[in-house]
Structure 1
Amino acid sequence: MVNLWSSAEHALRYLSMADAIPHRTEGEGVLLEHVPKTVERILDLGTGSGRLLSLLKIDRPHAQSIALDFSPTMLEAARTQFAGDDSVRVAAHNLDDPLPSMGRFDAVVSSFAIHHLTHARKRSLYSEIFDVLEPGGIFCNLEHVASPNAKVHARFRAAIGISEQPEDPSNQLLDVETQLQWLREIGFEDVDCYWKWLELALLIGVK
């Protein structure tokens, strides 16, 4: 018998039905395509419930991973998600502060977390990520980014069903172009926006 749950594609198909954010699994799928299955160490910044790292681990079960978050609720969910998996260490850390000493990584990933930081902290964090990557390592940031104007922003809010809700004050959105330029200035190569739908974007750079 073939167990389809060993396939990231099958897991993403299921999540696409269960997930409330339109097109999110498309971006996750592109991210999974670009993280080599041979990576040995993964750092997940702002892991939340561990959703993205869980997807990565489907095809990379032996990768040693560290999942950081500062929310006690999210940390509890992540610890439940990875209970019994000795290859994953869930740790509390606020991304407003410099990254702790954790060694080097083959991949650093983040999903809808870095946009909560000030713009200055975003840039300094990108530099820290570059420093902790092994040569040839990859940084993938599936992120909530700024729209080019208010009309497109309103279209995004309508598309995800929050038109009537107040703006989230914790969001500090920044345009794609500025962030890509920062990554290039820091020293990343192959920098580009590899996927985008309205205010959701996947930014990738390689050390």
Structure 2
Amino acid sequence: METLQEIQNQFNAVSEKYDRQRRFLIPCFDDFYGTALTLSEEVKSVKNILDVGAGTGLMSAFFHEKYPDAKITLIDISTAMLKKAEERFEGNENISFLNADFATVDLSENQYDLVVSGLAIHHLPNELKQQLFGKIAKTLKPGGWFINADQILGETELAEKIYTKNWKNHVEQNPNLTDEEKRSAFERIKVDIMAPLKPQLEWLENAGLQNANCYYQYYNFVVFAANK
């Protein structure tokens, strides 16, 4: 799939600076990741975590700090991004890595207490989003949660216009980003395939999960979740 290769190339190219950039590219960085972490407390015992589209391991790092004894598996299609994640967690026997397309990878049933994802699933076509939600539902243990911190499409043309304008203004005015980093960020969003929030919550319910709900939103940045 040409788009898939394009996504891989885009993120391989920025792997060195991605973590530093992310704090400046996300206007609501602390609340965005903080909400995902707090939601995980709904799981009674977190022993096994799957990070879908893990990139350099930024989200996994937050969850590792919160659950230092948990085993975490990171899946990502970008070899360069995953290499950075391996360097981040070097020597940690609780952390494992899988270089694969998370949209099509086989996942064992009833394996994880927690499945998390940060800014990854919006790169998938909608059919593959639904397919992935089904796999996540099966790989979660009973009582487990799926928490997705991601970007969404506006429910209306006006909402989408406002979302896009707000984010672009934030990036353009950020003094911590170089002109090249800004251009690169604007280039990467061209391969985004965002979906509105409402259908994604419905897809989670259709996949067999329950209580699908949005717990945080700042323009098009959202944290939504469901449990098994």
- TM-score after normalising by structure 2: 0.78
Change (3 A) 1:102 1:205: closer
Equivalence for 2:23:
19
2:212 to 181, 191, 204: 191
Q: Which runs of no fewer than 5 residues in structure 2 stay unpaired? A: 1-18, 173-181
Q: Distance in 2 between matches of 1:198 and 1:53?
A: 24
Question: Secondary structure of the equivalent of 1:49?
Answer: coil
1:160 aligns with 2:171: yes
Q: Which is richer in helix?
A: 2
- Mapping of 1:51-130 within 5 angstroms? 51-101=58-108, 104-130=111-137
Asked if the contact 2:53/2:75 (under 8 Å) is kept, the reply is yes
Aligned-pair CA distance for 1:167: 6.8
User: Do the aligned partners of residues 93 and 165 (structure 1) sit closer, same or farther apart at CA in structure 2, a change above 3 Å counting?
Assistant: closer
In 1, the alpha carbon distance for the partners of 2:194 and 2:133 equals 15
The secondary structure found in structure 1 opposite 2:138 is: helix
Pairing partner for 2:40 from 29, 35, 48: 35
SS at 1:39's partner residue? coil
Shift of 1:170: 1.6
Rate the CA distance shift 1:165–1:131 in 2: closer, same or farther, 3 A.
closer
What whole-Å deviation, never above 9, does each CA across 1:98-120 have from its counterpart, x for those lacking one? 33448610000000001111100
Q: Deviations over 1:42-84 (max 9, x none)?
A: 0000111111111111120000110011111101100001101
**Residues 122-161 of structure 1 correspond to what in structure 2 (within 5 A)?**
122-147=129-154, 148-149=156-157, 150-152=160-162, 153-161=164-172
Q: TM-score under structure 1 normalisation?
A: 0.85
- Give the residue type in structure 2 aligned to 1:151: K
Find the aligned partners of 1:29 and 1:57 in 2 and give their Cα distance: 13
Quote the residue 1:5 is aligned against. Answer: none
Does the CA contact (< 8 Å) of 1:48 and 1:78 recur in 2?
A: yes
Identify the range of structure 1 (94-103 vs 57-66) with the bigger mean alpha-carbon deviation.
94-103
